[in-house]
Amino acid sequence: MCRRLALVVLTAVLATVLAVGTAGAGPYVPSETPDDTWMTNGTVYTSALSEDGNTLYIGGKFNRVLQNPPGQSGPKITVSGLAAIDVQTGNAIGSWTPTVTGGKAVVRSLEVKGNKVYVGGNFTAVAQTPSAAQQPRQNLAAVSATNGAVDPDFVPQVTKTNGDPYVHALLAGDSKLYVGGFFNSAGGGKVRANLAAFDLTTGALDGTWKPKVSNQVKDLEFASDRLSIFAAGAFKTATSASGGTAQSRESVARFHTDNGNLHDWQVPPGVIGAPQQGWDLTVTEDLLYGGFGAGPNFAAAFHLDEGNVGRMEWRWDTVGNVQTVALSQDESRLFLGGHFGTYVLDQKVCGNRDLSGLISVNAATGSVMCDWIPELAPTDQHNANGGWDINITDSKVWVGGGFTHVNGIDQRNLARFAYEPTNFPPRVDLDGYKSGGIDAAYYDNIDFTGASVSRIDPTIDFNFGDGSPDPSIDRDTFSARYTGQIEAPVSGQYTFTTRSDDGVRLTVNGETVVDNYTDHAPTENSGVITLQAGERYDIQLEFYENGGGAEIRLYWQYPGLTQRQIVPSNRLLNSGSPNFAATFVAGLGPQPIVDQNNLSVTDTDDANLRSATVTLANRPDGNAESLSADTSGTTIVANYNAQTGVFTLTGPASTDDFESVLRTVRYNNTALNPSGSNRSVTFVADDGTVNSNTATSTVTVVAAP
């Protein structure tokens, strides 16, 4: 279980970035190989991120955090069920070592609010450090987020008269801490059926928020407006805090935040089924995502935007529990963890890849995303362990659980994976796009890595069969990216159709038109977009092949075209060479050194650029030579340094504005007898993250006529 604080923090950061006009980012692509980070000697069940995003608090059943796997030398810290990890370095924080003891001595839930870390699980005492005096606490406590000191005022009690009590879920509101788990008593003997609320400061039991569910609760999540709370667990019925008849709710229920009464929204009976266990939830404005497992095991998405009916949008079945779910920052990818596909439970995806405890799916469709399937080797050979917790920070996917290895690497119970945006560089083309085909790049691996081959393909119309695009590219695991522009012959609605085996994604003018990035037999997918006659639009098609036959074709149909056709070569445009040749005639003043009508500046994943630099590389006539441009109508600031020959155009500004300004770049030479050698003028654009290609204008200087 994880909170979405990291997403909130990141959203605020992104809002600031966009406000000042700096670079955006391409799709976030997680690595399948874990980063170097400290680990534990026992299962990690839960984590919570500090409000500043710098510390990851972890909880579970362990008594050591280690820099290296057991049996290897290296630093170790004695703990008991709790630890803190520096998010940037992955190192354990030795100054934060509160402990839980007694009972099962296990932490199953964490929540951060202000400078407090709330701790839930099964324990009878808490201490600031392993050597400090134990302070009695019944399965729920609060400690300092800074030094682990036990809060002396927060002394709630959560108990169960028969069996072992557990606090599985914690959710902090403005003034209340909402608690879910397996208990029947709270606050010193008051009846509470697996749900309760306490004052965040005093720990006093809330006397009115007392809804009931018929069995244990595993997770609690706010709705996006925080006016209601979703609960997931093993229950079949739920009852309002105000009393009344128990209502049927299969593993998921929704309660009003203010009074604890049951919300009318529900998943239709029989969709989830009973008996069932809801393990974890995550919420957006329109959808509720959940992981389930007791009989059928699956992840699913349910609508929140269709009144009080939680219609299931999609379901993806697994062999083994889905115990944790977490959304990517842009809400396009849903990460899943559990013990599905582990040890004796066999499940294969994406052709013939083994599934083992971790995967991600398209959040909108539930289709598997084949670029992230790291394999966990669980500590329990009977499948009772695996992935228990996923937490997304701004650049990492953190996974807690019970495992010994990740993709064969010895990494115990805690792992992190790099998860950073793919920053596509801008491109500067001094003479613009050329008709006659599209830029094609083929890669030896399915994730656009490995050996590559670049060329211009006249069309996208390939049946590779059992072969590949090039002898240097593997025939069964390769990918391709086609980029360029497309010119519309008429105005109206265009239908683009792909035929692919396997995955395909198509964007036109920045809009996703086709997205079926899954393993499949030859399949056709279509999408529509409105285009204007004579206009050129950026186009990108991504494709991968993961075994068996390989095929990729791109068709279109538009008003007046009675049958679809392969998009023809004369309507596809490629970048070709980005360079240009110009002639400067002395005595005629500043003169253009680029194609003023066709120079293009593009960036796949950014609407704005930060700057552009134009450099007069050789200046035999020194300060007599200069560069200039017309920035009128834009916010771009121009500055030419006569000492270095560097002409800087500073934004931020849109790619269109940079394109219009760069089309006006001119060279001048006021020397009486200018040197006749060629000048080399280079152009580079910067989107704030990565630089473009270097385009060169070769200027031939001739004497005045």
Can you read off the two tokens belonging to residue 393? Answer: 């920070």
Edge-to-edge strand list for the sheet holding 217-222: 217-222, 228-233, 252-256
Question: Which candidate, 663, 583, 606, places its Cα nearest to that of 423?
Answer: 606
Is the pLDDT higher at 390 or at 445? 390
> What's the CA gap between 229 and 261, in Å, rounded?
10
Looking at residue 12, its pLDDT comes to 34
Residue 274 — pLDDT band, cuts 50, 70, 90? Answer: confident
Whether residue 379 is predicted with pLDDT greater than 80 in this model: the reply is no
> What's the CA gap between 609 and 431, in Å, rounded?
20
Q: How many other CB atoms are found less than 10 A from the CB of residue 305? A: 9
Q: Omega into 258 within 30° of 0, i.e. cis?
A: no
Whether residue 31 is predicted with pLDDT greater than 60 in this model: the reply is yes
Helix (H, G, I), strand (E, B) or coil at 660: helix
* Cβ-Cβ contacts under 8 Å for 680 (sequence gap 6 or more): 617, 618, 696, 697, 698, 699
* Cβ-Cβ contacts under 8 Å for 86 (sequence gap 6 or more): 54, 55, 92, 93
Contact present, 509 and 502 (Cβ < 8 Å): no
Predicted confidence (pLDDT) per residue in 541-578, tens digit: 999 998 889 999 999 999 999 999 999 999 999 988 89
> What's the CA gap between 118 and 287, in Å, rounded?
28
Whether residue 27 is predicted with pLDDT greater than 80 in this model: the reply is no
Q: How many other CB atoms are found less than 10 A from the CB of residue 419? A: 22
Residue 25 — pLDDT band, cuts 50, 70, 90? Answer: very low
Question: Which candidate, 352, 323, 343, 347, places its Cα nearest to that of 335?
Answer: 323
Q: Which domains does the chain have, with CATH numbers?
A: 432-574 (3.90.182.10), 580-702 (2.60.40)
Mean pLDDT, the chain, integer: 92
Looking at residue 13, its pLDDT comes to 31
Whether residue 268 is predicted with pLDDT greater than 80 in this model: the reply is yes
Contact present, 198 and 180 (Cβ < 8 Å): no
Looking at residue 665, its pLDDT comes to 98
> What's the CA gap between 46 and 110, in Å, rounded?
7
* Cβ-Cβ contacts under 8 Å for 46 (sequence gap 6 or more): 1, 2, 58, 59, 60, 107, 108, 109, 110, 388, 389, 400
Looking at residue 477, its pLDDT comes to 87
Residue 11: which H helix or E strand, with range?
helix 5-19
Looking at residue 23, its pLDDT comes to 37
Distances (CA, A) of 152 to 95, 105, 110, 206: 20, 20, 18, 19
Predicted confidence (pLDDT) per residue in 502-511, tens digit: 899 999 988 8
Looking at residue 7, its pLDDT comes to 36
Contact present, 230 and 325 (Cβ < 8 Å): no
Read off the pLDDT of each residue in 60-87 and give the average, rounded to a whole number: 96
Residue 6: which H helix or E strand, with range?
helix 5-19
Read off the pLDDT of each residue in 402-413 and give the average, rounded to a whole number: 94
Please give the DSSP secondary-structure letter assigned to residue 622.
Answer: G
Whether residue 18 is predicted with pLDDT greater than 50 in this model: the reply is no
- Burial letters 542-559, b for 16+ CB under 10 A, else e: bbbbbbbbbbbbbbbbbe
> What's the CA gap between 526 and 495, in Å, rounded?
7
> What's the CA gap between 44 and 28, in Å, rounded?
26
Highest mean pLDDT among 265-269, 342-346, 600-604: 265-269
Read off the pLDDT of each residue in 231-253 and give the average, rounded to a whole number: 97
Predicted confidence (pLDDT) per residue in 277-325, tens digit: 999 999 999 999 999 998 789 999 999 999 999 999 999 999 999 999 9
Residue 403: which H helix or E strand, with range?
strand 403-406
Whether residue 253 is predicted with pLDDT greater than 70 in this model: the reply is yes
Looking at residue 34, its pLDDT comes to 94
Predicted confidence (pLDDT) per residue in 136-190, tens digit: 999 999 999 999 999 999 999 999 998 999 999 999 999 999 999 999 999 989 9
> What's the CA gap between 497 and 525, in Å, rounded?
6
> What's the CA gap between 387 and 43, in Å, rounded?
9
Instruction: Name the pairing type of β-strands 580-585 and 695-702.
Output: parallel
Residue 654: which H helix or E strand, with range?
strand 646-654
Looking at residue 382, its pLDDT comes to 63
Read off the pLDDT of each residue in 84-113 and give the average, rounded to a whole number: 97
Residue 381 — pLDDT band, cuts 50, 70, 90? Answer: low
> What's the CA gap between 135 and 50, in Å, rounded?
24
Region of poorest pLDDT, from 104-108, 127-131, 393-397 = 393-397
Is the pLDDT higher at 209 or at 705? 209
Predicted confidence (pLDDT) per residue in 587-636, tens digit: 999 999 999 998 999 887 778 999 999 999 999 999 999 999 999 999 99
Q: What percentage of the chain exceeds 70 in pLDDT?
A: 95
pTM: 0.69
Read off the pLDDT of each residue in 225-249 and give the average, rounded to a whole number: 97
Torsion of CA 187, 172, 279, 42, to 10 degrees: -80
Whether residue 100 is predicted with pLDDT greater than 90 in this model: the reply is yes
Whether residue 345 is predicted with pLDDT greater than 80 in this model: the reply is no
Could you identify the residue written with the tokens 């396997």? 502
Predicted confidence (pLDDT) per residue in 194-222, tens digit: 999 999 999 999 999 999 999 999 999 99
Predicted confidence (pLDDT) per residue in 47-56, tens digit: 999 999 999 9
Helix (H, G, I), strand (E, B) or coil at 624: helix
Region of poorest pLDDT, from 228-237, 248-257, 661-670, 688-697 = 688-697
* Cβ-Cβ contacts under 8 Å for 73 (sequence gap 6 or more): none
Looking at residue 1, its pLDDT comes to 58
Residue 12: which H helix or E strand, with range?
helix 5-19
Read off the pLDDT of each residue in 222-228 and give the average, rounded to a whole number: 97
Looking at residue 235, its pLDDT comes to 97
- Burial letters 50-71, b for 16+ CB under 10 A, else e: beebebbbbbbbbbbbbbeeee
Question: Which candidate, 312, 317, 304, 323, places its Cα nearest to that of 263?
Answer: 304
Question: Which candidate, 235, 277, 276, places its Cα nearest to that of 255?
Answer: 235
> What's the CA gap between 107 and 1, in Å, rounded?
12
> CA-based angle 498:504:510, to the nearest 5?
85
Burial environment of residue 210 by CB neighbours within 10 A (0 to 12, 13 to 18, 19 or more):
buried
